[in-house]
Amino acid sequence: MSKIETPRVGFVSLGCPKAASDAENILTRLRSEGYDISASYEGADLVVVNTCGFIDAAVEESLDAIGEALKENGKVIVTGCLGAKKDAAGQGIVQSVHPKVLAVTGPHATEEVMDAVHFHLPKPHDPFTDLVPPQGVRLTPDHFAYLKISEGCNHRCTFCIIPSLRGDLVSRPIHDVMREAESLVDAGVKELLVISQDTSAYGVDVKYRTGFVNGKPVKTKLYDLCNALSELDVWVRLHYVYPYPSVDDVIPLMAEGKILPYLDVPFQHASPRILKLMKRPASSENNLARIKRWREICPELTIRSTFIAGFPGETEDEFNELLDFLGEAQLDRVGCFAYSPVEGATANALPDAVPDEVREDRKHRLMEFQEDISTRRLEAKIGKEIVVLVDDVDDEGAIARSEGDAPEIDGLVMIPDGQEMEVGGFYRVRVTDCDVHDLYAEPVYADEAPQA
Ligand code: SF4
C-alpha cells in the first residue's frame, strides 16, 4: 500500500493527565498498527475525541469539540470520562447531544476504541503479520476450531494445580474473542468449541464490562457471548460449564437453536461431602433439580460429564451415592478417572486414601453402570432424522458427528453410504442403529428432505 493509501486518524485530547495517558495509549496503538495521525480534520479519515466530564465547563468544551469534529470531518469516535456520563433519564450525554457519533466509550478503553476504529477504518496492510492467515495457525481440521475465552481459574479444587500454574481467571475482551471467532468462520470453520477453565465464569473478573463488537455494545458475559456467536451461523458448543444458576439463562438459546443443545459439565462427584472435600465450584447446588429444569427448557439437550472415582476418603456408600446420581441424572456421555494424586495438589494431604485397586474397581463399575444409560439414550434416536457435520470421507463411507457429539471426546455417526458427502458439510441423515458410543445412519436424500 502506498503512503497515500495509509489510513489517517485525527486525534483531539482534552482533560487531565489520566486522560492524557489514555490518549497516549490509543495513539501508540494507532501508530503501531500503521495508522497515520493527521494534524487536521480535513486530512483525517476519522477523528477520535478524548473527552473530559469533570466540571460543567469541561463538559461544554468536550461537547463543542465533538460538534466541531462532526462538522469538519463527520466520522467521530468519542472516548474518555464524558463518554461514561449519563443524563437524568439515564441516557448517555454524548449520544443525546450528538447522535451522529460512530461509537462512544468511557475512559481507559483502548481496546474498545481500537475495535471501533478497526470497524470504521480497517487496519492497514502489514506485510509481516499478514503472512500469517487471519485465523492464525491451527492444529484442528479446517471445519472445527477451539475458541478460548479466558485463562486461569478462581477456584481451588483440591485435586487440581491449574490455578497455581496459570493464576486467577482472566477473561479475554469480548471484542477480541468475537474477532477471532469471525476470522475462523471466514476461513471456513463450521463449528466453534468454546473452552476455558471455567466457561460459566466468563467476565466475572472484569465485572461483565461492556465491550464493542462491530460497533455494538456487548457485555463480557457467557449469555451475551453465546448470543453474539449465534449470529455467525455455525455450530457453537460449550465446554467446561459449571452448574451455576446463571447457566439457566443460556439454555433457552439452545432451545431456540441459536447454539448447540450441548453442555459439558464436569460434575466430578455427587456426594456433598466429597464435593466439599474437592472444593468444587457450585458444590452446594442441587444438580439433579438443575438438570431436570434444563431438560424441561430444552428436551434435546445432550449433557456430558466427567467423574473421579476413589477420591481420598470416598466410602463405599458415597461411591454408591454417585451411582444413584447417575441413575437419576441419565447423562448422555460420561468419562471417569480413577483418582490419581497430582504433585502439588492439596488433596494429597487428605486422610483415608483409597487403595489403588479399589479406585480402579470403582472406575470400572461406574463405566459399566453408565454404559447401559448411554446406550439407551442413543437407542432412543434410532429412526429419527438428525443433522450431522462430516469429519471424514473414504471408500467405506463418511464419519460424522451429531449435535450431541464433541470432537475427540464423544461418539461418532457412521454413514456407510456417505461416500458422496463432503468433509465439513452439514447433512441430514436418518439413524438406523447404535452401539455403546456411536450411531449408524443413512443419508436422507434431497427428494426426501431438504439438506441442512
Ligand atoms: S475449576 Fe477446579 S479443576 Fe477446574 S481449573 Fe479451576 S481449580 Fe482446576
**CA separation for the pair 63, 49 (Å, rounded):** 10
Cβ atoms of 134 and 168 closer than 8 Å: no
pLDDT tens digit string along 1-16?
334 478 999 999 887 7
Q: Note the pLDDT of residue 4.
A: 47
DSSP assignments along 350-362, one per residue = -SSPPPHHHHHHH
What is the mean pLDDT of the segment spanning 159-181? Answer: 91
Cβ atoms of 182 and 231 closer than 8 Å: no
Side chain identity at 48, as an amino acid letter?
V
Cβ atoms of 382 and 193 closer than 8 Å: no
DSSP assignments along 226-285, one per residue = HHHHHTT-SEEEE-S----GGGGGTHHHHHTTSS-SEEE---B---HHHHHHHT-TTTTS
State the chain's maximal CA–CA distance in angstroms.
79
Instruction: Name which residue sits closest to atom 4 of ligand 1, judged by CA.
Output: 197
CA proximity to 308, closest of 336, 276, 274, 279: 336
What is the mean pLDDT of the segment spanning 81-94? Answer: 85
> What's the gap in Å between 127 CA and the centre of ligand 1?
41
CA angle 12, 18, 21 (to 5 degrees): 65
Minimum mean pLDDT range among 20-24, 79-83, 194-198: 20-24
Side chain identity at 268, as an amino acid letter?
Q
**CA separation for the pair 147, 153 (Å, rounded):** 17
> What's the gap in Å between 281 CA and the centre of ligand 1?
8
The response to whether residue 153 sits with its C-beta less than 6 Å from ligand 1 reads: yes
Say if residue 451's pLDDT is above 60.
no
**pLDDT-based confidence at residue 274 (cuts at 50, 70, 90):** very high
Say if residue 448's pLDDT is above 90.
no
Q: Which stretches of 73-197 are DSSP H helices?
A: 93-97, 110-120, 162-166, 174-186
Q: Note the pLDDT of residue 18.
A: 75
The response to whether residue 185 sits with its C-beta less than 6 Å from ligand 1 reads: no
Cβ atoms of 172 and 207 closer than 8 Å: no
Cβ atoms of 427 and 403 closer than 8 Å: no
Which residues is 294 bridged to in the sheet?
Answer: none
> What's the gap in Å between 158 CA and the centre of ligand 1?
9
CA proximity to 191, closest of 131, 245, 143: 143
pLDDT tens digit string along 321-351?
999 999 999 999 999 999 998 888 999 999 9
Higher-pLDDT residue of 222, 341:
222
pLDDT tens digit string along 227-237?
999 999 999 99
> What's the gap in Å between 403 CA and the centre of ligand 1?
26
Q: Note the pLDDT of residue 446.
A: 57
C-alpha grid cell for residue 54? 469533570
Binding site per annotation, positions: 16, 52, 81, 153, 157, 160
**CA separation for the pair 32, 353 (Å, rounded):** 56
**Whose grid coordinates read 492524557?**
20
> What's the gap in Å between 286 CA and the centre of ligand 1?
20
Say if residue 452's pLDDT is above 60.
no
> What's the gap in Å between 153 CA and the centre of ligand 1?
6
**CA separation for the pair 88, 296 (Å, rounded):** 42
The proportion of the chain whose per-residue pLDDT surpasses 70, expressed as a percent, equals: 94
> What's the gap in Å between 155 CA and the centre of ligand 1?
6
The response to whether residue 124 sits with its C-beta less than 6 Å from ligand 1 reads: no
The response to whether residue 157 sits with its C-beta less than 6 Å from ligand 1 reads: yes
pLDDT tens digit string along 120-140?
888 877 666 566 666 666 677
Instruction: Name which residue sits closest to atom 5 of ligand 1, judged by CA.
Output: 197
The response to whether residue 190 sits with its C-beta less than 6 Å from ligand 1 reads: no
The response to whether residue 150 sits with its C-beta less than 6 Å from ligand 1 reads: no
Q: Which of 151, 156, 160 to mutate to test the pocket of ligand 1 (most atoms within 8 A of CB)?
A: 160
Judged on CB neighbours under 10 Å (0-12, 13-18, 19+), 158 is middle
Side chain identity at 447, as an amino acid letter?
D
Cβ atoms of 260 and 235 closer than 8 Å: yes
CA proximity to 421, closest of 438, 405, 397: 397
Would you tell me how many other CB atoms lie within 10 Å of the CB of residue 377? Answer: 17
The response to whether residue 58 sits with its C-beta less than 6 Å from ligand 1 reads: no
Helix (H) or strand (E) holding 439: strand 439-443
The response to whether residue 201 sits with its C-beta less than 6 Å from ligand 1 reads: no
SS3 content of the chain, % helix, strand, coil (to 5): 35, 20, 40
How remote is the C-alpha of 114 from its chain's centroid? 22
**pLDDT-based confidence at residue 398 (cuts at 50, 70, 90):** very high
Cβ atoms of 336 and 369 closer than 8 Å: no
pLDDT tens digit string along 27-65?
888 888 888 888 788 889 999 999 988 777 888 889 999
Minimum mean pLDDT range among 100-109, 133-142, 150-159: 133-142
What is the mean pLDDT of the segment spanning 359-384? Answer: 97
